[in-house]
């Protein structure tokens, strides 16, 4: 696994990063611009997950590009989890020493009958609490082929991979809802908005690391 590190606010470098993760099960390459325009150029073979990545970029104002492949003949778990891990790596890299950011963010996102809540802290301690309240039934499109469905039980695996490598504490909850599609999408949008606020530059903080320890590992 290789990562190309970006800068911090202290160094005034663009907050960008690239990472590649290649295993016997998956092959993923991603690039990230934290201060983007909300553009998603990721080529993802799972249709619903591609839709979620697009929503994540659009609402977080992140630019993400990349390619991925995996052993989908087994199931979707390996690719979804490893994508979360790789996404966390580029966030960790782009944030650098995390000087000058707000560090924490919170958002409640409504989507029709669904209400989702996300809270995040980029304090260096990975921990996930994920309560998506899903039925466990895969989402199936009208398309042909094995890639037309999405295994909804992999949503938690995606976010677990993300927090483990991003070094953040993330709480995701569905407050209420009916549709699994809406619940998952609302969680991705809520997470995007919370993360967007957390990684944003804090003009009052300047180049100070947002921790009483003076360092975020």
Is residue 207 included in any domain, yes or no? no
CATH classification of the domain holding 75:
3.30.230.40
Euclidean distance between CA atoms 83 and 78, whole angstroms: 8
Q: What are the φ/ψ torsions at residue 44 (nearest 5 degrees)?
A: -115, 130
Is residue 63 included in any domain, yes or no? yes
- One digit per residue, pLDDT tens: the chain, 217 residues? 555 444 444 446 789 999 999 999 999 999 999 999 999 999 999 999 999 999 999 999 999 999 999 999 999 999 999 999 999 999 999 999 999 999 999 999 999 999 999 999 999 999 999 999 999 999 986 655 445 689 999 999 999 999 999 999 999 999 999 999 999 999 999 999 999 999 999 999 999 999 999 999 7
Domain count, the chain: 1
Residue 59's region, left for phi above 0, alpha for psi from -120 to 50, else beta, is alpha
Is residue 217 included in any domain, yes or no? no
Euclidean distance between CA atoms 74 and 82, whole angstroms: 14
Is residue 163 included in any domain, yes or no? yes
Is 162 strand, coil or helix? helix
Is residue 135 included in any domain, yes or no? yes
Give the number of other Cβ atoms within 10 Å of residue 144's Cβ: 7
Is residue 204 included in any domain, yes or no? no
Give the number of other Cβ atoms within 10 Å of residue 140's Cβ: 10
Is residue 139 included in any domain, yes or no? yes
Q: What are the φ/ψ torsions at residue 105 (nearest 5 degrees)?
A: -150, 155
Q: What is the pTM of this model?
A: 0.92
Residue with tokens 């979360």: 84
Domain that holds residue 153: 2-199
Is residue 92 included in any domain, yes or no? yes
Euclidean distance between CA atoms 81 and 87, whole angstroms: 10
């Amino acid at each position: 696994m290789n990562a190309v590190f970006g800068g911090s606010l202290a160094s005034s470098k663009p907050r960008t990063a690239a990472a590649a993760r290649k295993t016997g099960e998956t092959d993923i390459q991603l690039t990230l611009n934290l201060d983007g325009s909300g553009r998603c150029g990721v080529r993802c073979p799972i249709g619903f997950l591609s839709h979620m990545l697009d929503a994540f970029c659009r609402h977080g104002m992140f630019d993400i590009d990349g390619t991925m492949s995996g052993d989908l003949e087994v199931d979707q778990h390996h690719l979804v989890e490893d994508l979360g891990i790789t996404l966390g790596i580029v966030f960790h890299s782009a944030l650098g020493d995390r000087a000058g950011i707000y560090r924490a963010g919170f958002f409640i996102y409504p989507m029709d009958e669904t209400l989702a809540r996300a809270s995040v802290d980029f304090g260096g301690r990975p921990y996930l609490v994920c309560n998506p309240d899903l039925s466990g039934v895969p989402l199936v499109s009208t398309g042909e082929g094995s890639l037309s469905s999405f295994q909804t039980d992999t949503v938690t695996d995606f976010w677990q991979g993300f927090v483990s490598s991003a070094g953040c504490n993330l709480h995701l909850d569905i407050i209420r809802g009916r549709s699994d599609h809406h619940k998952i999408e609302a969680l991705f949008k809520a997470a995007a908005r919370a993360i967007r606020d957390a990684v944003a530059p804090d003009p009052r903080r300047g180049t100070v690391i947002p921790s009483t320890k003076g360092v975020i590992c």
